[in-house]
Amino acid sequence: MSQFAVPASGQSPLIVSVNGLRPTWGKDCFIAPNATLTGDVILGDACTVWFQAVIRGDVHSIRIGDRTNIQDGAVVHCTYRKAATQIGSGVSIGHRAIVHGCTIEDDVLIGMGAIVMDHAVVEKGCIVAAGAVVLENFRCEPGYIYAGIPAKAVKKVSPEQLLSMQQTALRYVEYSRWMEKVEG
């Protein structure tokens, strides 16, 4: 399955089954020692879940594609019987961001401290700026930068920015390889 970075303390990630559903993940994933995954969570290949991140599939399903990184302190959750969470491939969820009951398509960057609410859709190639709030039921059109509270389109994502976002997702896979790993 995956490998975990296990420090000298021997701490490992908190992986919790909920109502018989246990988180699963693909090949070459990194899950930090103090990350938490619960319930109906499926991660693709080469995903990284960083320190103090929480992916809580206790009340609905969470599906995450390949090469997606959930950075330090981020929270991914959903709403009971109402809003599942779907995150595509090549996505970066920034430090302390909250992604809740929404859909995030491929090649997206959710900035540090940003919030994406229930039934929102962030389409392919978008950037949600640090600290932005994407309101419930809002749709971010593909290829735009969204900023503010509430988030609004501020400009098109440049080809250089899109390339940088794609490289960030790949870099997080590389960063995970720097960690001391022990079979999980």
The H or E element spanning position 146 is strand 144-147
Note down pLDDT in tens along the chain; length 184 residues.
455 544 445 578 999 999 999 999 999 999 999 999 999 999 999 999 999 999 999 999 999 999 999 999 999 999 999 999 999 999 999 999 999 999 999 999 999 999 999 999 999 999 999 999 999 999 999 999 999 999 999 999 999 999 999 999 999 999 999 986 555 4
Report the helix count and the strand count for the chain, using DSSP H and E: 1, 22
pLDDT given at position 169: 96
CATH code for the domain in which residue 61 is found: 2.160.10.10
pTM for the whole structure: 0.92
Domain contains 31: yes
Domain that holds residue 104: 3-178
Number of domains in the chain: 1
Domain contains 167: yes
Domain contains 12: yes
Domain contains 183: no
Question: CA 118 to CA 137: how far, in whole Å?
Answer: 7
Domain contains 184: no
What is the identity of the amino acid at 84? A
* Assigned token pair, 68: 């997606």
The strand pair at 14-16 and 127-128 is best described as: unpaired
What is the identity of the amino acid at 34? N
Question: CA 28 to CA 3: how far, in whole Å?
Answer: 7
Phi first, then psi: give them for residue 141, nearest 5 degrees.
Answer: -65, 150
pLDDT given at position 181: 54
Question: CA 143 to CA 122: how far, in whole Å?
Answer: 10
pLDDT given at position 148: 98
Beta-carbon count within 10 A of 131 CB: 17
